[in-house]
Amino acid sequence: MTRKTGKTIASWGLALLVALLIANGASFLYRSGAGSIQRENAYSTSIRTPNSSIVRGSEGYGINHVDAKGYLNDDKLPLAEHYILLMGSSHAEGLQVMQKDNMTSVLNDLMDPSVRTVYNLGTAGQTLPRIVEGFQAALEEFPNTEAILIEMSQMEFASEDLVRAMDQARFDPASTGETLEASLSAPRRIRNNVLLAMPLVSLLRQQLDSMDFGMQDAFGINRLLAQASKLIAPKNDVGQTQDDVQAAAGDSVQPGYVEALNQALALIRAETDKPIILLYHPSVGILADGTIAIDRDMRYYDGYRSACENNNIVFLDTGDAFLEAYQKDYSIPYGFTNTTFLSGHLNQTGHRIVAEAFYQALTELQEEEKN
């Protein structure tokens, strides 16, 4: 009986091992990567593990390469001697689409497909205040910058965040991806190797972190209601005036916000004489008749336009381009087949529209210089 029990346990253990190996193998195609490295005295407070690959399949699907500096760039082609920096959030990072389809790659192809003209600094969580904070460090790390592109989808921040951002980080060569990767501690290197070899660990950790054992949202009712509300058109559609939208929103601009914004943009303008382009891509809602409306944050919109104009920064808004794409073939800029319609990150269409907007603005600046 003991021997038979032992064989049964061994067979169960073997079956579990085989199941884990199969699940781990499948995880390579769904979610894999070595994680991030924290740092100080640089453009961002973290980078992806240099010279690795990241696969994400929970929102859209993307397989992306991380270069030696820890940023999402396909380095098969050489980087141009003089290049353009793209600063932005997880939208710019572009883990939700294939690397060839993100805004950096599309813009590169529009400018010169034989060389990398645009270098992607897109980092998850890198809002405008954080971009301002790391702006000087980025210019010090990348001194051959010919222009700076800034992507953002959010206009509202605490005024204190903008003020705090003006105490900028200074670049330290010890914070580069190459140096950090070479100096990783043994435990951290083991952790990264485990994550690379066993993506199932990362996936299980993500599932555990997302679990909620409370009853506040039993059966996912709140989540379903929130998703449904996103499909209702926003009040601030293009047919309303700014005053109408602000009154409907029931909120006003924070005291001192526009002044802090102007000072922050004046600071980065003073740090370079190269062109700076600030691109805002607003969210999108759907009307009852099936058309879409652009959800611009009109409380701050004119403040951004005036602050950019005051500091010789080009301000772009992709809202009208989003409308045109939908009217042409019902293309939408946000959402994927495996997520909620019109929510989340930019999809392939959204990345293309943003890249085209940047390209048009850069072309116009080049024409102005010639004249």
Looking at residues 43-61, what average pLDDT do you find?
94
Range with the poorest average pLDDT among 11-15, 56-60, 163-167, 321-325? 11-15
Report the percentage of the chain scoring pLDDT > 90.
65
**Per-residue pLDDT at 121 exceeds 90:** yes
Looking at residues 286-297, what average pLDDT do you find?
89
Distance CA 133, CA 135 (A): 6
**Per-residue pLDDT at 63 exceeds 90:** yes
Distance CA 200, CA 197 (A): 9
Q: CA 354, 356, 358, 362: dihedral to nearest 10 degrees? A: 180
Average pLDDT, the chain: 85
Q: pLDDT category, 245, cuts 50, 70, 90?
A: very low
Q: pLDDT category, 357, cuts 50, 70, 90?
A: very high
Range with the poorest average pLDDT among 29-33, 128-132, 325-329? 29-33
Looking at residues 29-49, what average pLDDT do you find?
88
The packing angle between helices 348-370 and 103-111, to 10°, is: 40
Amino acid at the residue 165? A
Q: Answer with the residue of higher pLDDT: 32 or 23.
A: 32
**Per-residue pLDDT at 301 exceeds 70:** yes
**Per-residue pLDDT at 341 exceeds 90:** no
Looking at residues 348-361, what average pLDDT do you find?
98
Return the SS3 of 369: helix
Q: What is the pLDDT of residues 162-216, one digit of tens each?
A: 999 999 999 999 999 999 988 877 777 776 666 666 665 666 666 555 555 454 5
Supply the Cα-derived Rg of the chain in whole angstroms. Answer: 23
Q: pLDDT category, 236, cuts 50, 70, 90?
A: very low
**Which CB contacts under 8 angstroms, 24+ apart, belong to 323-329?**
323/238, 323/292, 323/294, 325/349, 325/353, 326/291, 326/292
Q: pLDDT category, 356, cuts 50, 70, 90?
A: very high
State residue 248's pLDDT score: 43
Distance CA 110, CA 84 (A): 13
Query: Do 48 and 72 meet the contact criterion of CB atoms below 8 Å apart?
Result: yes
Q: pLDDT category, 344, cuts 50, 70, 90?
A: very high
State residue 239's pLDDT score: 44
Pairing, β 62-65 against β 36-38: unpaired
From 125, 122, 136, 121, select the one nearest 168 (Cα to Cα).
Answer: 136
**Per-residue pLDDT at 161 exceeds 90:** yes
Q: Tokens 């005024």, residue?
A: 159
Cα–Cα distance list, 267 to 88, 145, 263 (Å): 18, 17, 6
The packing angle between helices 199-210 and 2-27, to 10°, is: 90
State residue 201's pLDDT score: 61
Looking at residues 50-79, what average pLDDT do you find?
94
Q: Tokens 């003006």, residue?
A: 166
Q: Answer with the residue of higher pLDDT: 26 or 262.
A: 262
Whole-model pTM?
0.85
* CA 110 to centroid of chain Cα atoms: 21
Looking at residues 133-147, what average pLDDT do you find?
97
Report the percentage of the chain scoring pLDDT > 70.
80
State residue 230's pLDDT score: 47
Give start and end residues of each alpha helix (H) in 183-220.
186-197, 199-210
